[in-house]
Amino acid sequence: TVGWGFIGTSNIAKQWMAAAVRHQPGHEVMAVMSNSLSRAEMYAQDLKIANAYDSFAALLADPAVDVVYISNTNEQHKPAVLAAAKAGKHVFCEKPLALNLADAAEMVSACKQAGVVMATNHHLRNAATHQAIRAEIAAGTVGQVIGVRIFHAIHLPQPLQTWRVNDPKAGGGVVLDVAVHDADVIRYLLAEDPVDVMAYAQTGGMASAVEDGAMTMLQMPSGALVQTHESFMVPYAGTGLEVHGTKGSIVARDILTQRSAGTVEVITETGRRQLDIQHHNLYHYSLAQFAQAIAGNGQPAVTGEDGLKSLAIALAMLKSAEQGQRVRIDYPT
């Protein structure tokens, strides 16, 4: 058995990741760790996890734990990753990896030095929809990509309106929560890393001390421009993405989601074509690839370096919004 230790009694672990681990043949969630032992115990009982702990040391000392999944709040990812790497455990870490680039770079390098696999949980590029769009772009269907528009304004459900909307120290705010995923999407779809960004952010009523809405523009090395819109406060926009090129356009709807859903239409001079998407579970897909990587075959779907780059982009968005200026994106090497 490949035993997983869950660090953080989070909603995402409960809603998606525990089931996704258990879906992998030979993988099981063996332990959970919280800052509160009673919370760990309740969570363990609820999710039928054998062991509950209240320290990294205790969880990492459990011989049944081979891999850790880190989904506590964002400021706690770094100490968790460093402790796991030191203990020789493979790491599957939530986004954003950290609150600043130096910390994220240290996490990636600690895993590399320890010889453990590190993955970042950007789910969207694991979707069949995004994979199909990337393939169409790579095949030249739309010609040269001129512009991409990403619509990712959603309504944050009331139970999630906690640290995300009121705690800058925990890495709250829509940019580190949502725009960081869009940063990964754009890198994945266009297979290039944005050069610079201009962004506006707003604090429109749901959040305090952090931003709850943002619009950003990114410039790609190819010359393509990218627009993104993220919000916690928009219930009815729906999500979507459009890629516009010299020979065609791709119009995708309902694809910035954790669900296996969405549609992709390609429009060229030959007409409109709805892609036949064979949807699969995003988290099952990434865990299958992670299982292969820890067995020595290939890379995770989204590596630690990918998480570092998406964070670099998100932090540049925040800096641009704060300074009211274009910001060059600083990618650590």
Q: Which residues bind ligand NDP (CB under 6 A)?
A: 8-12, 34-36, 39, 71-74, 94-95, 121, 123, 160, 162, 177, 258
Give the nearer residue to ligand NDP in terms of CB position, either 23 or 247. Answer: 23
Contacts 24+ apart (CB under 8 A), 58-61: 58/33, 59/5, 59/7, 59/31, 59/32, 59/33, 60/5, 60/84, 60/87, 60/89, 61/87
Give the nearer residue to ligand NDP in terms of CB position, either 162 or 299. Answer: 162
Give least dist CB 26 to ligand NDP, A. Answer: 23
Does residue 252 sit in helix, strand or coil? Answer: strand
Give the nearer residue to ligand NDP in terms of CB position, either 7 or 220. Answer: 7
Query: What is the distance between the alpha carbons of residues 49 and 290, in angstroms, rounded to a whole number?
Result: 21
Give least dist CB 275 to ligand NDP, A. Answer: 23
Spatial contact of 8 and 76, defined as CB atoms under 8 Å apart: yes
Residue type, 69: Y
225: left (phi over 0), alpha (psi -120 to 50) or beta: beta
Give the nearer residue to ligand NDP in terms of CB position, either 273 or 284. Answer: 284
Give least dist CB 131 to ligand NDP, A. Answer: 17
Give least dist CB 267 to ligand NDP, A. Answer: 30
Spatial contact of 153 and 73, defined as CB atoms under 8 Å apart: no
Give least dist CB 43 to ligand NDP, A. Answer: 7
Give the nearer residue to ligand NDP in terms of CB position, either 71 or 310. Answer: 71
> Which DSSP state fits 14?
I
Q: How does 34-48 read in b/e, with b if 16+ C-beta sit within 10 Å?
A: beeeeebbebbeebe
Give least dist CB 18 to ligand NDP, A. Answer: 12
Give the nearer residue to ligand NDP in terms of CB position, either 136 or 212. Answer: 212
The residue count for the chain: 333
